[in-house]
Every structure is written in structure tokens, then in C-alpha cells.
Structure 1
């Protein structure tokens, strides 16, 4: 384990240190963001997406108003889902646990779970945020760091939502590899929303808008997407990211956490009535994605991003071909329709799916 001894958890991001510790290497001043078209062409020509960063979307006033409305409308639903998944996490792991959220969409959910456990159970559990990258796995240096720091605690991984389950599968394979190295890690992923039916621990399986999916770094601790590029990351480093200190004036990260935390007070007293039962994944979402792939004539399954959260990501940081929506009159899709309008992306109604919407990436 000596190769990991130089790693330390440094202050990073705009969240309070007591809420989360990011295990990420600071790449400020080293990595420059690429435009969407340049980045998309590079990805589709074989460059791994984790080697570059997209330019952060600067929300328009109309889009920010949609975010605020979404937060006001869904804050109670988010709080209820947090309480359900937090109770499931506690039931599975007991009191001796450490929360490990997947940067960056999982980070605010991990903070909320941590706050719930402290509010209602008096538990002050450690919470870290680490990088996992599709096709390259979880940050093994970060996991070794956590296991050294908390050798007896159970690790519980947390993310925001599921799409077709690519990260769920990536986590399983990463943990299998780590366990072959002598660790004992449960690969089960807890998520706020599991519309893809691929996580056993979830707050809901409804495909609804989790407000922190609307924005990028400004609701995720001002942290960029994570980077794994050998030009910046050595074999002994944590995966990297940028900390956008220049966006401090636009940061809504802690405001978002505080809004949902206040809503958690509303669910106090009903926690004993929540359904804590785990439900085995059926991978229904992946089957629907394969059906969409066949009907839309799409070569790469990775160009299909199902669910509200994933569709939002496509519109914010990829080059979209079109967006499929189950119901064009669904008021919960206002931010999707606004982003599509801003980027001249066609909307197509597609009723044959359980997801509220699905983003399709353009072949360039």
C-alpha cells in the first residue's frame, strides 16, 4: 500500500468540509475546456471523454428561472426520496459506515444523506466524493485512502440517479477488481432516483427532475467533471478536476443543500412509516434503451442517454441529435424544452418508454 501513502484529502470545492471531502487532484491552471463540437468529434474519433473538459454552460435568465421553479416544485419530493434511501442505507450497513458519493452528481445527494442520518439518528458519518469513469473504473487510489482511514466501516456508494446502468456496472467491475486486491467492498449503489431499475437502494423509481441535474458546477460545489488524463494524473494521484473559483458569485451549491435540508424537517416523524425494502434490479431501462437503439437506427448505445438527468447532461455538454419525450405537455420537462429551444434541438414525442425523456447524441 506504500504507493498510496502520499495521498491526502485537500480542501476542494465550495461545500463545507464537514459536509464532504473531495478526493480529487486540483487541475486548476492545467486543463483547458474544449468547445462542444471539438470535444464531440474527439470523443467519437476515439479520445476518451475523461481526458477533456467541456466548457461550462452559463445559464440564461430564462433557464435559471426554470431551475428555481423546479427546485420549489420538487424540493419536497427530493427530501422524501433522501429519507427513503438514507433509511435503506442505514438498514443495510448499520451505524459503522462511510458514505462515498460519485463525483459530481452524487455529491449533493451524499451530503443530504449525511445530514439526514445526523438529524434523525444522531450519526455523524464520514462522507467522501470520488471519481468513477465509464470504461476506466473508480479511482482506486481514493478507495485505498478511504479504507486506510476507515478500516472497519462499510463503504456505501451514492449517486444521483440511474440512466441505463452504465455506472452501476462500472462500479461492480471496479469493486470486483479491488476485492481481488484484498479489500472487502460492497458494490451496491444507492441513488436518489432509479428510473433505469438497476440499483437495489433508491429513494424512488420515478423519472423526475432532481433539481441539481439542471445545473453543472454551480450546484455541485463548483467542481468540474472528473479528469483522467496521463498528462496531468500520475499513477499515484487521485483523479483530477477543476475548482471553478471564478464562479463563486453564481454558486448555488450550499443554497440547494439548505433548501432540501429544511424540507427534511417536514419528513421528520414519518421515517418509521417509510418503505425500507430493497428491490432487486430488473434492468428494465436497459431493455428500453436497446429498443430505442433499434427503432432510431443508432449505432452506439452510448449515444442514448435516458432519463431527465441524463437528457439534461446531453443538452448541456454534448452535441444533441434530438430529444425523445414521453409527453410534450409534461410541465416537469420545462428545462429540457428550454435547453432544446436554445440549442435548436428537435423534440420528438415517443410514448413507448417509461422514462420521461431521452437524449440522443448526434453522430459527428
Structure 2
């Protein structure tokens, strides 16, 4: 395998010892477009990865809710991180290379790295790379990692699962990489929460609010979503991303990491026990969320399952950066959906009671074909 020319980009506000971004810096390129324009292009055959949404900056009461949620559930998040980290280290040990899927996976990868350092005294390499639905993983980034760590064992990391599109994309990408380069990659995706039953490596299968899902780049190191636009990304380049330096005053990325990290010592015993139990169980996937998605698609006459985003994390994303149509809600009294109800009210989006949902909620994207941009 030839030596890659790319180097980690010095972007974002995370500490260099926490993560290396294998991304091309597109900070000087204008890639943002309005939600309506982007949605029109996506639904007319364009790809979501070719442009970026305008970064939504929430009002003060929403940010206050983020901080309250973080304080309320910091120990729960820390425990789930610990359960995942313990499993990873028990299976792969100090040969592990953490590879986060940008961008929701990045803070989770940092937390797993921090936990393992605290618990086992080992500082694992941690990279953040791009994977894009229908377009696959950044092969140049994988080649870079393998060149740097030829005997390392890659562990892919993300924040949570929805209906499993990225899990399926990762499995396909690993298979394709193996066929092309003769290298076997473990496609098991490590996540904090797996409400869609899409992986065997998780902290919980409860559909709960991971506070980092509440915000955009301001809790992800001020790094944008990843971009794959051939106008700016050559065949030998890493996928791209922007560094939003103009949002430095609003950035809470490292504070989020530190708040969760401070809880690790108190959860280690329980995390180790839960991880050992999980490793002994015969855990299955089944992608149970797709049954919900197919039922919703038929009931609401929705053209594509791409317009249906189940789970707290994915519903939040619909409200933050897509054109939402409706929010289906199993239990509006759940503390994990307060921010969703706040966003829906602010944006004038209908919330529909839907008690038979397996997830806590589900975001439906509006069909904008033929609508005025």
C-alpha cells in the first residue's frame, strides 16, 4: 500500500492528544445553503454531502436546556461510554485504533479514549474520518491509518444508531475495502446508544438523549459535517470539512468532554461488570427500527425511507438542519424530548402523538419537490 500524501488537518478546538482529523480543510470555501435550497437539491437527485446546512445557533433557553440535560444525565452517559470502552479494550487491547465517524462520533471517540487512558493507563490513537451514506467511507483516510499503524486493530465509533443506514454503509465499505486491498476490517460499530438494534457493541439500547446531539458544531470541536464534492475533493484527498472559527465564543466542545470525563471514576466498577456480562451474552442485531420506518412510510405515504429519521438523536438532526414536516412522539412527557418539543414549537412543526413507536420519537422530512426555493 503506497504511502499516503495527506496529513491530519489542524482544524477544530479539540486538543491534538484527543483526536486527529483526517479531513481536508475547506474552511475558506462557501458551501452553506439554506435548508429549503439544500432539501430541494437533495430531493431532486443531488447528494447531501455536496453542501452544508447553515449552522443553526439556538436561543439562550435552548442552550440552558443543553446544560441542564448534561448535568442531569452526565453519569448515565459516562456509564454507557464506560461499558463500550471496557468491551473494546477487553477484545482488542492496546492494539486498538479508535476511528470515529465524523462528526457525531468524534466526541464519543474522545470519551472512549479518555476512559481507557484513565482505566488502563494506555493512550490509544484516535482519528476522526468521514463516512457518507451511499458513497462509502474515506478510503484515503483508512489507508493513512493502516500506514501509520500496520498491526493496529481499527475500532469504528459513532454516537448512536437510528434506522441503521450508517451501520449498513460501514459493513459495505469494509467488505469493499477487503476485496480491493485484501485487508479485513472489523465493521462492528461502537456506539453509546443503539435503539435501532443495529450493532452488538453499545452502552445501552435505550433511546435516550445524548446531550451532544442537542447542538451542532459547537459541541463537535467547531468542525462541520463532512463534505464530498468533487469540485473541491480530488481522488487522492481526504473528504473535507470546515472549521467554524467564528463560533469560538459559543464553543462548548471541551467542556462537554470534561464534564463526562469527571464522572468516569464513579462508574468504572459498574461499567466493567456490565461489559463483561455483554461480552458473555449472545447479542443480536435485527435492525428492529426498520419495521417502524416501513410502517410509518406506508401510513404517511412517504416516498423514501431517507425522509424518516427515528430516535432522539436523528429527530434532533431533522429539526436542526433539514426541513421538518412532522415529529412523531411516543411519550411527550419523557425528559429526553424536552429540547425536541422546544425546537418544534420554535419552528412551527406539528408534533403527532404516536404511542406504538419503538423509539421515543421520529422526525419526518418534508417533501419539497416543486416548492418555491
* Aligned counterpart for 1:348 among listed residues 346, 352, 360: 352
SS in 2 for 1:226: coil
Query: Which residue matches 2:146?
Result: 147
Contact kept, 8 Å, 2:24 with 2:238, in 1: the verdict is yes
Query: Which residue matches 2:217?
Result: 217
Query: Is structure 2 residue 251 aligned with structure 1 residue 251?
Result: yes
Deviates more, 1:309-318 or 1:262-271: 262-271
| TM-score of the pair, normalised by structure 1 | 0.98
* Aligned counterpart for 2:298 among listed residues 294, 301, 307: 294
Per-residue deviation, 1:72: 1.0
Query: Which residue matches 1:29?
Result: 28
Q: How do 1:49-64 residues align onto structure 2 when only pairs under 5 Å count?
A: 49-64=48-63
**Whole-Å Cα distance in 1 between the matches of residues 75 and 270 of structure 2?**
13
Per-residue deviation, 1:270: 3.3
Per-residue deviation, 1:62: 1.4
Deviates more, 1:310-319 or 1:286-295: 286-295
Per-residue deviation, 1:272: 3.5
Contact kept, 8 Å, 2:97 with 2:153, in 1: the verdict is yes
SS in 1 for 2:159: strand
Query: Which residue matches 1:339?
Result: 343
Q: Deviations over 1:330-355 (max 9, x none)?
A: 23211000100110000001011110
Contact kept, 8 Å, 2:4 with 2:143, in 1: the verdict is no
Per-residue deviation, 1:123: 1.2
Contact kept, 8 Å, 2:79 with 2:270, in 1: the verdict is no
**Whole-Å Cα distance in 2 between the matches of residues 203 and 89 of structure 1?**
11
**Whole-Å Cα distance in 2 between the matches of residues 309 and 328 of structure 1?**
15
SS in 2 for 1:161: coil
Per-residue deviation, 1:304: 0.2
Query: Is structure 2 residue 199 aligned with structure 1 residue 199?
Result: yes
SS in 2 for 1:270: helix
**Whole-Å Cα distance in 2 between the matches of residues 246 and 217 of structure 1?**
11
Q: How do 1:92-111 residues align onto structure 2 when only pairs under 5 Å count?
A: 92-111=91-110
Deviates more, 1:110-119 or 1:83-92: 83-92
**Whole-Å Cα distance in 1 between the matches of residues 86 and 347 of structure 2?**
40
**Whole-Å Cα distance in 2 between the matches of residues 114 and 309 of structure 1?**
22
**Whole-Å Cα distance in 2 between the matches of residues 44 and 265 of structure 1?**
47
Query: Which residue matches 1:231?
Result: 231
| TM-score of the pair, normalised by structure 2 | 0.95
Q: Deviations over 1:38-80 (max 9, x none)?
A: 1110110111000010000011111111111111111111000
Q: How do 1:165-180 residues align onto structure 2 when only pairs under 5 Å count?
A: 165-180=164-179
Structure 1 vs Structure 2 CA RMSD: 1.0
